[in-house]
Structure formats: C-alpha cells, structure tokens
Structure 1
Amino acid sequence: MINWDDYRLILAIARARGLPGAANSLKVTLSTVFRRLERIEETLSTRLFDRMRGSYEPTDSGFELIRAAERMEHEALSADRIIAGRDQQLTGLLRVTVTDALSVSFLSRHIPSFHVKHPGINVEILSDDHLLNLAGREADIALRPRRPAEETLVARRIATIHWGIYASHETCKSLGKIQDLVSLDGQKFISWSGGSASIFIDKIIPTTHCPISSSSLTTNAELAAHSDLLVLLPCLMGSQWRSLSPVIAPLPGPVGELWVATHEDMRRNARVKALFDYLVLAAEADKDRFEGTA
C-alpha cells in the first residue's frame, strides 16, 4: 500500500520526466527521490518508469498511478480553494503572479498604498514572465497582458496598453522632433524577443537595425538608457523610466490589454476581493499612463 506522498512523488517524476526535476519541485535531495521510488516499486512489485536516455518514461502501471494521482491532486486542490474562498479575514498571505514589466511599472507604485490600507495582508509578488497556475494555488491573483483562456477563472479587463518608442535623453535630443515613424528609417533598435510587438515596427519603418535583443522589457529599457539605441516599450513603462524620453508615443499601431484574474473558487475570499477591487481602481487612475497621454 502506498500513501499520498508516494503518489505526489510519482506525479512529480512524470511531470519532470526525471529525478532531478522531481527533487527540485518537491524540495528534497536527488538521493531521497531515488530511494523513495525504489521503495514504491518494491512495495508494488512492479516497475513504474522505464529509464530511457536520461529520462523517465511511465510504464503501463506507472500511467495508472499517475492518472490516479492527478485525480487525487485535483480533488485536494479543489477542496483547498473552496475552503480558502470562504476566508473572510483581511489577514494572511496573498500571492500575485505578474510579468516583470508590469511588476516594475504598475504594481510597485500601488502595492505600498494597498499595504497601508490593509496592514494585515502580506503581499508576495511573483514576478516572472512564466505565469503561475491559479487552479493549482501557485498564486491567488494574476495580472496578465491578455485575456485568460481558462474557463475556471473570473477575469476583468482593467486597462488598454498602448506602446511607444523611447530613447535616452541624449539620443532624443540628437534626433530632434520626429514627425512620423518613416522618419526613423535606418535607426538602430533594441529588439524584444519575448513578444510580437516589434513586428509592428518592422512593417512600418522601411529599414531598422537591431544589434541587441533580449526577452525582458525591463532589460531593454536599461539597454536604451545606456546607449544610443531606440526601444519599443509600453507607454506605462517608458513614460516613467527616468533615463528615457519619448521619441514617438503613443504609437498608432495595435494596442494590448491588461486583465486581472482569480479562480472562481477564490473570488469571495476577503483578501483576494480586496486586492482585486484595488487593482481595478489603480488601473483606472493610471488610464493616462497606460494610453500614453499622461
């Protein structure tokens, strides 16, 4: 007979397709995972994983236990969310998953005042472009630059995100007044490899050179601040970056959206509701910043 911790171990190995990733997710040593898997297989008298070129592939018996573990995990998480959703105390931990750019340019200005209003709530900002799973209780609230696709989430669009072209103060002075995008023909840009917004620039400006690129908008902003290169940024971000000035902002091109979301089981949780409503009002207050008209 195996217990829930054993099922969790099997599920972790399957998801990581190996022992190192499982050990990392379970926060135990590699040798612990190895020994526990050996014990489980010995108890069941069957092999659960085939070792193939460094990865662990489930056997038929392994698949059966993995499916059972997934069902158990789903039920446990569901019960956890339902109980947490009934919590009406404005105290405790509240986790927010958000992209690094939104964390820097939006949350960092509003969370301190939220803490003043609700000193009993401890806010943990999980700043990463890999958005965490709300159903799995990896976070309680998500700020996402696109509409969430998960049917179990309650979401609200709170802002329209406009973009602009920015450069260091010195570079802006040397460029002079720019009338339109075509005037930037031949200029050097920092490319954002983490999204499709740069494609718009390539279509409008006849010739652009991108000698530097990164997957981080915050990195791109700092690169522009320390060089003569131009950078495409959300207006909310570019307008408040101290070392940058607008070349053209807002751009006439496509705009994005900002959504705040939580799991439907958590929408009545007092902490979640307090921050959810607060972020809606914060985005309304920042409307001009998001649209580049501030």
Structure 2
Amino acid sequence: MADRKRTEVDWQDVRVFLALGRYRSLSAAARALQVNHATIARRIQSLEHSMGEKLVERRPDGYLLTAGGERALEAATGMEAAAQLLARADRADDEDVRGVVRINAPPALAHAFLTPQLALVTSAHPGLDIDLATDLHSVSLERRKADIAVRIGKPNDGDLIAQPVGKLAFGFYGSSARCDAVEQGAPPVFVSFDEQNSDMPEGVWLSQQFPRARVAFRAENQLLQATAARAGAGIALLPHYIGRQVPGLRPCALTPLPPAREVFLLIRGQDRHARPVRTVMRHLVDAFKENRALFSA
C-alpha cells in the first residue's frame, strides 16, 4: 500500500510544497501561487499522504521542514528544474546555439539565484558555454569585459541596451532570538557591509536610518551577511531572495525599509542580434519572471 502511494505524487502538490519550503510562510507561499491558505494546507496534507511521511512542522515563527521534508525539497527542486528545462527547450530554435557568453553580476545574486538558472542554459544548449564573474561594483561592457551585465538600480552607461527584469525588495532578517528581542523593544544590532564596500546603497541607507545602532559584524556581500545573521551576529538588511532561501533566518518586524530597486540586464547595442547573447538573455528574462514572487515584497 505504501509503495503504491509513493507512485501517485501530484505535481500540483509538489509546486505548493516547493513554495512553502522556500518561503517557510503560509502567507508568502499563498501570495506566490495566488491561492488561499486552505489550498496550501490541503496540498501539503495531500503530498504527505502520498509520500507516507510528515514533511513540515508548524512553529510560532513559521514552518520547519522535517528531515523527510528536506529530502523531498531537494527532489522537488530537481523536478522543477527539469520542468523549466523542458518548457524552455520547447521554445528553442532548431539550429544549435554555440559560443561563450560572459556574464557579470553582483556576488550574492550570482550565488543565490543566477548560477542554477544559468546552468539550465547549458543543459538546453550543449554548444553554449557560460562564463560567470562576480563584482560588487559595475564592470564596463563597452570595454568588452562582459557580454551581459546584471545590474541593481538604473544604469547610466553609454551605448548599451538596458532591459528591466523585475523589482528587488528588502526586509530585515535574523535568527529567532535576535528578531524576538527587537520585536520586544530591544535596540537592534546589525550586520552590514565592510568598510571597503560601505558605499553600497543598502549600507548607506542603513547607516542613515539607524545612525546610532551598533554594527556588530561587517562582510563584503549580502550572502556572507545572511550567514552571519543566521549564526546570531545581528540583524541583516537583505533582499528577500536571500532572506527567504537561507534556513534559520526569519523576517523581523522592523521598519522602515528601503524602497525596492529595479534589476536590469545590459548588453551592447551591437550584440542585440548575436544568437548566443539573445539566447542567454531570453533565459534570464524568463527566470526572473518565473521567480518574481521570490524577489517582491
């Protein structure tokens, strides 16, 4: 009986479980999928019944995956990637796309989002190679240091084509202990950028809004800041796409918050007809569109 049930997993149940596993919040998962809370609960219960084990536990600060849930989430993520690959391959041109496309992006965005998305490109197009480099500060496309640049905030470059792909919203994230303390009235202790990168917009905004607050830990990028916040060093101002994906972090009810920033893809005007660049651009535009709920408030 148990074996028969394990063969009857519903993909719609899996989609709901993926959303809950990513956001660890019933409300956030419901917003991302545009369904109500009851549907989320029913789908999770259905998947647990099909798999024959408990996948999630409800806690005061959100949902926690069981050991079985963590294994299921890894498998479900693979299923989603395969489904996306099939959908994109279906739209691909019959002719092979070949060449190397060099991409430059901020480190945190590259590690936490772009790398797995770009890996799908090379799977869909075996003749296409990706060279991904990271830099907190902008590189020059006009000097041909990259073919595609991913930028946060409106660019002011010269003869470049800039395509907006979505909004990047922020929130305060920390361990349960740190967030509980702040929500009960304790002064916040922050994690922010190191001195070399103190001119980053989020670091400048934080110092302006909380000029007297202690910054207990400084790191060069937001992925490192998330790791420090998870370990209890302080509260980090993070893009939602990081805060929602790092286990052990939860949103903190702390305000104000900075305005959302727009994400752009940049290419040189003369490259707009180059098939390798156009192919990667299309994949990235699709990826941001499919995952917009991960980035938005």
The Cα shift of 1:130 comes to: 3.2
Cα pair distance change 1:107/1:250, threshold 3 Å: farther
Contact 1:98 1:127 in 2 (8 A): yes
Q: Percent identity?
A: 23
Once the two structures are overlaid, the 10-residue window that deviates more, 110-119 or 96-105, is 110-119
The Cα shift of 1:277 comes to: 1.4
Pair 1:128 & 2:135 matched = yes
Count of residues in correspondence between the two structures: 199
Question: Structure 1: how far apart are the matches of 2:139 and 2:208?
Answer: 33
The amino acid across from 1:223 in the alignment is A
Pair 1:190 & 2:191 matched = yes
**Structure 2 match to 1:100:** 107
**Structure 1 match to 2:219:** 214
TM-score by length of 1: 0.61
Aligned alpha-carbon RMSD (Å): 2.5
Mapping of 1:117-196 within 5 angstroms?
Answer: 117-172=124-179, 174-175=180-181, 178=183, 186-192=187-193, 193-196=198-201
The Cα shift of 1:212 comes to: 2.2
**Structure 1 match to 2:39:** none
Contact 1:166 1:245 in 2 (8 A): yes
Pair 1:241 & 2:242 matched = no
The amino acid across from 2:190 in the alignment is F
Residue-by-residue CA offset, 1:69-119 (whole Å, 9 max, x unaligned): xxxxxxxxxxxxxxxxxxx96112111000101101220231122222112
Mapping of 1:249-268 within 5 angstroms?
Answer: 252-268=257-273
The Cα shift of 1:250 comes to: 9.6
Question: Structure 1: how far apart are the matches of 2:131 and 2:185?
Answer: 41
Question: Structure 1: how far apart are the matches of 2:200 and 2:161?
Answer: 25
The Cα shift of 1:203 comes to: 5.2
Describe the SS at the equivalent of 1:144.
strand
Pair 1:225 & 2:230 matched = yes
Residue-by-residue CA offset, 1:142-163 (whole Å, 9 max, x unaligned): 0000222122101111111110
Question: Structure 2: how far apart are the matches of 1:109 and 1:118?
Answer: 15
Describe the SS at the equivalent of 2:264.
strand
Contact 1:163 1:250 in 2 (8 A): no
Contact 2:192 2:218 in 1 (8 A): yes
The Cα shift of 1:171 comes to: 3.4
Question: Structure 1: how far apart are the matches of 2:120 and 2:185?
Answer: 40
**Structure 2 match to 1:281:** 286
Question: Structure 2: how far apart are the matches of 1:191 and 1:99?
Answer: 16
TM-score by length of 2: 0.61
Cα pair distance change 1:184/1:134, threshold 3 Å: farther
**For the pair shown, which has the larger CA radius of gyration, 1 or 2?**
1
Question: Structure 2: how far apart are the matches of 1:269 and 1:249?
Answer: 46
